[in-house]
Structure 1
């Protein structure tokens, strides 16, 4: 998968590497800001009860 993405990026290696890093950063940002907050309420670990 990663090699397929790298091969389809335009330009020589000096252009592809920054583009690949940018794509990874965008994917991580999207996951942290959109996907994980949307999924978090549905996880069972959010219903923690502590009794004294």
Structure 2
């Protein structure tokens, strides 16, 4: 998969490395800030318990 992405991205290797780094950062951002919180709220709801 990474080889296919590397061949698809145009430009010399420094440009390819920068684009790959940006892709990885974008995917990590999307997972941490959007996907994981949605999964936690949807599939693992917190109990509505209070401590007296």
Normalised by the shorter chain, which TM-score bucket?
A: 0.7 to 0.9
Q: CA deviation at 1:14?
A: 1.4
CA RMSD between the two structures:
1.7
Runs of 4+ deviating beyond 2 Å:
none
Q: CA deviation at 1:40?
A: 0.5
Query: Distance in 2 between the 1:5 and 1:43 partners?
Result: 34
Q: Which runs of 5+ in 2 are unaligned?
A: none
TM-score by length of 2: 0.76
Q: Which runs of 5+ in 1 are unaligned?
A: none
TM-score by length of 1: 0.76
The number of residue pairs the alignment matches comes to 47
